[in-house]
């Protein structure tokens, strides 16, 4: 049975839900169709998220992304729809999606969409250089 594109996103349990950790994915082969001309649009999607209880399964993400190949959609709409679908699927603490569309009509378009779980706040960033200065570790 050949693999087919699908809008279904599969998930799995976060193996370390007690820790905030960052998952970074780059998807360089995103395609959809321009709703005005029907011509293909190409983009690299950059997905960053901090999972809560669930993570996105990669094969289903690949098939989900593939499902847009013959879909007419504006850049802004598809970026926000992808973010919304992933948020519904895994309910992350934080998710950030950047869609970098290649040039069309002499214009590059980048769309950035973000989600934060209500009440979630990131922990303060650790600055190791400042820590080393304060503790005189490196003399």
Write out the catalytic residue numbers.
34, 41
| 130 membership: H or E segment, kind and range | helix 128-135
> Shortest CA distance to 99 belongs to which of 57, 46, 52?
46
| 98 membership: H or E segment, kind and range | strand 94-104
């Amino acid at each position: 049975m050949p693999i087919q594109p699908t809008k279904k996103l599969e998930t799995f349990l976060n193996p370390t839900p007690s820790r905030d950790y960052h998952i970074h994915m780059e998807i360089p082969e995103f395609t959809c169709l321009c709703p005005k001309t029907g011509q293909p649009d190409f983009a690299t999607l950059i997905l960053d998220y901090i999972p809560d209880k669930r993570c996105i399964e990669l094969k289903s993400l690949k098939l989900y992304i593939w499902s847009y190949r013959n879909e007419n959609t504006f850049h802004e709409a598809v970026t926000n729809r992808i973010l919304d679908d992933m948020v519904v699927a895994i309910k992350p603490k934080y998710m950030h999606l950047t869609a970098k569309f290649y040039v069309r009509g002499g214009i590059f378009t980048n769309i950035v969409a973000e989600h934060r779980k209500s009440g979630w706040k990131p922990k303060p960033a650790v600055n190791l250089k400042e820590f080393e200065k304060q503790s005189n570790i490196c003399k």
